[in-house]
Structure 1
Amino acid sequence: MSEAISHTMNTIIWITIPFIAYKIYSRYITYRADQEFGKSHGCLPPPRVPARKFLGRDRLTKIFEAASESRLMEYFWSVLKENGMTVDHVTLAKHSFSTIEPENIQCLLSGKFEDYSFGTRKQLMYALLGDGIFVQEGPEWKHSRELLRPQFNFREYGDLAHFSGPMEDLLRCISTTLMDPTSNRVVDLQPLFFRYTLDTTTSFLFGKSIESLKSGDKAVKFEEAFNVAQTFMAKRFRVAAFWRLVGGKELRDACKLVHDFTDEIIERVNEHNGARDEDKDDRYVFLDKVAKEIPDQIMETLSGKETLNRNDLRQVKYLTDVLKETLRLYPSVPLNMKTAVRTTCLPTGGGPDRKSPVLVKKGEDVSFSPYSLHRRKDFYGEDAEEFRPESLETGHTVPDFAFNLLTRHFPRWQEDLPLFRDELTKTWGYLPFNGGPRICLGMDFAMTEAAYAVVKILQRYPNMTLPPHEKVVKTGQEKQAITLVIAPEEGCRVVFDDRF
């Protein structure tokens, strides 16, 4: 018996030793090849973010502390300001990079597009998003994108018909809240905007709105579940290789509610379309295939028009500038990441002068943050971290009332910003909708949707202020909810006055 055990152990040892030796040799060969690649391309390391504990555990601790205090994006921005616009760091023994250099971002998203993938994103997010376009790559992604591209032609929504119904429902919700004497005329717009977006999107993609602004509890539960699921997805990204430890029953329940709600949408729309097969609209291929200045400009530009269209909205130039500035400081997706599928390099950020190429080995992650990129003073001026409140006409500062920021001229986007100094920074220094082949198909739709909402709300309620005693803090210092997107942690509370 003992001899048999001894023989088995010897066999295992003789099999294991060559295997280990082979792995060590393979890693050595890969290491030498990577070093030769870096040398041939003149690569030098970028500044490293200091880590004082073994495996960079202190960095992970700081990340989770910042997240718990609702200041995660400001923490990431502070790391770049202190160490450089391209840095490397080690977290739980995982070596990765962060960059907000336009040249590097252009390389990630366009120039060397084929050198990078989403890495583990599909696995991380499968529970919520399944095999959808947001996690697809290669031929599958190209097929889905071509399927959606015709749908997002502005001619398909230029008459604003998909927005009008949901907007009437949103205004009705505001009015209903104001009639409640306990509301003190205060309305939290954030959940209403979420449902407005849900209703306009389903109307546009499916041909019928789910009317979540009317449905009450179901929409609220869906919103809560979706936010819970997104929060778990974000946590998974933060712990990298240990993402499987994040989730459990709470995530499964949230994803099930999201999927059930989505399935119900599809079922309702199928029933609706089945009832009107004879006059079916070919546009719905997606379903078949699977303050003052603004009010003044609105009155001046859109006066007498009972029905608006996309071109009308685009004529209110100041409104476009306000939306661009909002997206500059609060891009919907504040942080993104790519993983190298082969050893490659970033074009700049390394060496003492931080201008040399940077070696990126196969499997290493490179993150880039539009949130931080859009706060660079060398692109946007010394007040880059401020939501510009000056008046061109008087030079006076606007009082700190959120919606009163809309009552003065807004010069930043009419200036000769350093951002516009060359095509590289102009194209890759402002990325509210990503860039390159994967630039957001719905960016014009989103801008039109937001512009229409602002116009219609201000037409109905031209006088809005913050609630009394509402805390006002410096831009970027407010509490931020970071899931896969960014949103105010404490909502968007506004006092409405319908007196003209």
Structure 2
Amino acid sequence: MAFLLVGYAGAATIAALLCMLRLFYLRRCCTNPIFTEYPFVGMLPHVLCNLWHAHDYSTQVLKQHGGTGEFVGPWFTGMNYMLTCDPLNVHHMLSKNFRNYVKGPEFREIFQAFGDGIFTADAEAWRYSRDLFHSLLKHKSFEVFLEKTIQKKVQNSLLPLLNHVQQQGRVVDLQDVFNRFTFDNICCTVLGRDPECLSIDFPEVAIEKAFNQAEESIFYRHIVPTFVWKMQQWLQIGQEKKMTEACRTLDEFIYSCIASKREDLSRNEENETGETFHVDLLTTLMREGKGKGEAHEDIFLRDAVFNLFVAGRDTITSALTWFFWLVATNPLVEAKIVEEMNEKFGINEKTVLRAEEVKKLVYLHGAMCETLRLFPPIPFERKEAVEADVLPSGHGVNPRTKILLFLYAMGRVEEIWGEDCMELKPERWISEKGGIVHVPSYKFIAFNAGPRNCLGKDLSFIQLKIVAAAILRSYHVQVVEGYVATPSLSIVLLMKDGLKVNMTKRKF
């Protein structure tokens, strides 16, 4: 009995010490907690109970705490984060003190599928990829190639498919259509080949679904303790089994494309036919490395291709899906977009516009900016502090502090956008003289800010406006009755159940 009493006393003493250490830690680093903390599980129950509307719930909580707060996860799991949607904090981390806020090793572990590509790299590895992609994406020949590729895909695949659906009177999932369109498009621009996913029979495409699964699994890694998903990875169960299968499918596809491309280039050199290859990005990467006597290894090319796919596929799909949902539920905005196109280019004279033509559509550009403000394709970004710092909001940051920047919330803050921030208002982006209003990137954060701002911003707007203009010049999009748009739980802001719509021919 005495032995048991001593054992109980020892256990109680250890528990008391742990609690004291925990309280000391919280007083030192958690000066502005955003939730009530429970013993052992921390603040995680709040997240799990509201996971079904995580983005809006996070926005609401951050607003209640002045835009910045601290989240404490289950004890001893390392799931402690600083959360912010304060534009001054964002500007400080992404621009003013850029060197102090990195992706970090834990980020690369979570985003394992991205390899050592531009999105996960830091320091010199990031600079090398950044300079390389800058030279590729900003080259005039690639811009021309991209424009022709998009126009061809819209004219020969997208519009015929929508016409087929409209004639049959079928409900169509526009998000699925855009997923297929952007997948074909990115395969053409990055790999130089068209898998033809966008066809009237809607073929099953394993590689396209593998990308979606990998992104959902990465989101899952953010909301569970590291040891949980690592245990699942080891046992190959749950989300981690799906992640492994998705990555295997992706790698087989990408490496086969790399091997095929090497054969094509080698054959072209042997034959010396002088044939001009399409300037797809993989070909350019291979030629550039070989031209400098530093041929890129397959693993480098694999990571580059994967990162380009995510950048050029998912973000465009997200933006187009939310754009058409917003336009379909705001008929006055739709009418003004169509009116602008008719004034500039006449009625039904030309369906698929060129890049120089869509640049003239200021109101359409404003509607796109509003879409990206309210529904940024990447809803949150993760950083890690290298050294101690103090944010403009007054919050102290310790070395290795993990920080989540809530980009979704930033587009819904009254202090940034005004009391009408929840309204779709393209006029917000149009000056009195009819030009486009410039908003600092640390406020309009859809394309990131600072040295890591999006290299493909201008190209993205061209793609978005060519597709949107082509559809709206021909069709009226109507969301099916009773449909509720729900953001998916993924690192890319898609719709959970797709976007179900009816297409009708536009009447003039």
The match for 2:47 is 63
Which residue of the other structure, out of 374, 387, 402, is the alignment partner of 1:342? 387
The match for 2:230 is 244
Q: Percent identity?
A: 25
Within 5 A, what are the aligned runs for 1:282-301? 284=281, 285-288=284-287, 289=289, 290=301, 291-301=334-344
Q: Specify whether residues 448 and 293 from structure 1 end up closer, same or farther in structure 2 by C-alpha distance, changes over 3 A only.
A: same
Q: Specify whether residues 431 and 486 from structure 1 end up closer, same or farther in structure 2 by C-alpha distance, changes over 3 A only.
A: same
Which residue of the other structure, out of 129, 143, 146, is the alignment partner of 1:157? 143
Within 5 A, what are the aligned runs for 1:20-419? 47-57=32-42, 59-67=43-51, 69=52, 71-93=53-75, 94=78, 95-119=80-104, 120-126=106-112, 128-153=113-138, 155=140, 156-158=142-144, 160-167=147-154, 168-180=156-168, 184-214=169-199, 220-242=205-227, 243-247=229-233, 248=236, 249-270=241-262, 278=274, 279-280=276-277, 284=281, 285-288=284-287, 289=289, 290=301, 291-303=334-346, 304=349, 308-348=353-393, 357-388=394-425, 410-414=426-430
Are the equivalent residues in 2 in contact too, given 1:376–1:384 (CA < 8 A)? yes
Q: Deviations over 1:410-457 (max 9, x none)?
A: 3222379xxx99x9x834111001111111111212111111111111
Quote the Cα distance in structure 2 between the aligned partners of 1:203 and 1:79.
Answer: 42
The match for 1:471 is 483
Are the equivalent residues in 2 in contact too, given 1:379–1:429 (CA < 8 A)? yes
2:400 alignment partner, SS class: coil
Alpha-carbon offset, residue 77 of structure 1: 0.7
Alpha-carbon offset, residue 219 of structure 1: 5.5
Quote the Cα distance in structure 2 between the aligned partners of 1:282 and 1:150.
Answer: 13
Quote the Cα distance in structure 2 between the aligned partners of 1:287 and 1:50.
Answer: 51
The match for 1:493 is 500
2:215 alignment partner, SS class: helix
Q: Specify whether residues 496 and 265 from structure 1 end up closer, same or farther in structure 2 by C-alpha distance, changes over 3 A only.
A: farther
TM-score, length of structure 1 as denominator length = 0.75
Are the equivalent residues in 2 in contact too, given 1:51–1:90 (CA < 8 A)? no
Alpha-carbon offset, residue 73 of structure 1: 0.4
Alpha-carbon offset, residue 296 of structure 1: 2.4
- Please, which runs of 5 or more residues in structure 1 have no aligned partner? 1-26, 36-43, 349-356, 389-409, 473-477
Q: Specify whether residues 367 and 85 from structure 1 end up closer, same or farther in structure 2 by C-alpha distance, changes over 3 A only.
A: same
Alpha-carbon offset, residue 252 of structure 1: 0.9
State the AA in 1 paired with 2:285: F
Quote the Cα distance in structure 1 between the aligned partners of 2:72 and 2:504.
Answer: 52
Are the equivalent residues in 2 in contact too, given 1:346–1:359 (CA < 8 A)? yes
Q: Deviations over 1:206-256 (max 9, x none)?
A: 344333324977753223222221111111122254342454322211211
Q: Specify whether residues 270 and 45 from structure 1 end up closer, same or farther in structure 2 by C-alpha distance, changes over 3 A only.
A: same
Alpha-carbon offset, residue 176 of structure 1: 3.3
State the AA in 2 paired with 1:293: K
Q: Deviations over 1:26-47 (max 9, x none)?
A: x9xxx9xxx9xxxxxxxx9752
1:481 alignment partner, SS class: coil
Quote the Cα distance in structure 2 between the aligned partners of 1:498 and 1:307.
Answer: 16
Quote the Cα distance in structure 1 between the aligned partners of 2:381 and 2:198.
Answer: 31
TM-score, length of structure 2 as denominator length = 0.74
Alpha-carbon offset, residue 264 of structure 1: 3.7
State the AA in 2 paired with 1:251: M
Q: Decide which moves more: 479-488 or 327-336.
A: 479-488
2:56 alignment partner, SS class: helix
State the AA in 2 paired with 1:115: N
Are the equivalent residues in 2 in contact too, given 1:86–1:99 (CA < 8 A)? yes
Alpha-carbon offset, residue 172 of structure 1: 2.5
2:63 alignment partner, SS class: helix
State the AA in 2 paired with 1:485: V
Quote the Cα distance in structure 1 between the aligned partners of 2:135 and 2:410.
Answer: 31
Alpha-carbon offset, residue 97 of structure 1: 0.8
State the AA in 1 paired with 2:344: T
Q: Specify whether residues 240 and 443 from structure 1 end up closer, same or farther in structure 2 by C-alpha distance, changes over 3 A only.
A: farther
The match for 1:454 is 468
Alpha-carbon offset, residue 333 of structure 1: 0.4
Q: Does 1:445 align with 2:427?
A: no
Q: Specify whether residues 269 and 192 from structure 1 end up closer, same or farther in structure 2 by C-alpha distance, changes over 3 A only.
A: farther
Q: Decide which moves more: 305-314 or 224-233.
A: 305-314
Quote the Cα distance in structure 2 between the aligned partners of 1:447 and 1:86.
Answer: 31
Are the equivalent residues in 2 in contact too, given 1:343–1:360 (CA < 8 A)? yes
State the AA in 2 paired with 1:482: L
Which residue of the other structure, out of 406, 421, 442, is the alignment partner of 1:428? 442
1:375 alignment partner, SS class: coil
Q: Specify whether residues 336 and 460 from structure 1 end up closer, same or farther in structure 2 by C-alpha distance, changes over 3 A only.
A: same
State the AA in 2 paired with 1:342: E
Quote the Cα distance in structure 2 between the aligned partners of 1:307 and 1:205.
Answer: 22
Quote the Cα distance in structure 2 between the aligned partners of 1:150 and 1:371.
Answer: 30
State the AA in 1 paired with 2:478: T
Alpha-carbon offset, residue 371 of structure 1: 0.6
Are the equivalent residues in 1 in contact too, given 2:101–2:383 (CA < 8 A)? yes
Quote the Cα distance in structure 2 between the aligned partners of 1:458 and 1:306.
Answer: 9
Quote the Cα distance in structure 2 between the aligned partners of 1:374 and 1:48.
Answer: 23
Q: Decide which moves more: 369-378 or 46-55.
A: 46-55
2:205 alignment partner, SS class: helix
Q: Specify whether residues 218 and 495 from structure 1 end up closer, same or farther in structure 2 by C-alpha distance, changes over 3 A only.
A: closer
Quote the Cα distance in structure 2 between the aligned partners of 1:269 and 1:219.
Answer: 24
